[in-house]
A and B are shown apart, each in its own frame.
Chain A
């Protein structure tokens, strides 16, 4: 199985800040990497697929990059509605696996 390592597990930031979340995989997955946002009490929301492609309707302040084993999610100019937990997930091969999540909190 492909292991996913996300860092940090949590971070504090202010509105307007730029934040970067890292996701590392235990083997190369090309760009088969997706990102999700989850707010408390809600189902996850699909943000980014193929490492860098924004799902329809996702604001352009979200961006993704990386290939192989190292990936990043960047949120430029954090907005109040961006405070949430973010998960990476590999779709290179089953079993499909997630990172443990990064909680973005208000400073």
Chain B
């Protein structure tokens, strides 16, 4: 069974940084693309970033481009999201999501973690 567990969320001041992690298990990690998708509580879903199985192709939403960096460690079966220059509008529940194959542009969000809450406030 696929298991995705996010961590690293919390309260952070505007302009500061935060790093989210996602520990994965239950599947062959380096066969699959991964994504971060966020959701403001009570609101809709927004794709944040995705990367291929080998990090060879990476994409970002315009709203985070230049501020956020997605990365993965295929030895430690982990996904990361480095978030810099955080803004109030980045406050959301951040989900770690597994795709159906190794290409993030396939864009089918097959398995989801339970999310890590990020709150940006002074």
Q: Which of A86-107 contact B (CB under 8 A)?
A: 87, 89-91, 93-101
Assess A44 versus B109: contact at CB under 8 Å? Given A87-B45, A97-B47. yes
User: Across the two chains, which residue of chain A brings its CB closest to B47?
Assistant: A96
User: B59, B60, B95, B107 — which one has the most chain A CB atoms within 10 A of its CB?
Assistant: B107
User: Across the two chains, which residue of chain B brings its CB closest to A40?
Assistant: B42
Secondary structure at chain A's binding surface: helix, strand, loop or mixed?
Answer: loop
A98–B112 touching, CB < 8 Å: no
A1 to B109, CA, bound (A): 19
Q: Which residues of A contact B45 (CB under 8 A)?
A: 36, 44, 87, 89, 98, 101
B110–A43 touching, CB < 8 Å: no
A87 to B106, CA, bound (A): 17
B44–A87 touching, CB < 8 Å: yes
B105–A94 touching, CB < 8 Å: yes
Whether, in the assembled complex, B113 has its beta carbon less than 8 Å from a beta carbon of chain A, the answer is yes
Q: Which residues of B contact A100 (CB under 8 A)?
A: 44
A44 to B43, CA, bound (A): 13
A96 to B106, CA, bound (A): 10
A90 to B108, CA, bound (A): 9
Q: Which residues of A contact B (CB under 8 A)?
A: 1, 32, 34, 36, 43-46, 49, 55, 87, 89-91, 93-101
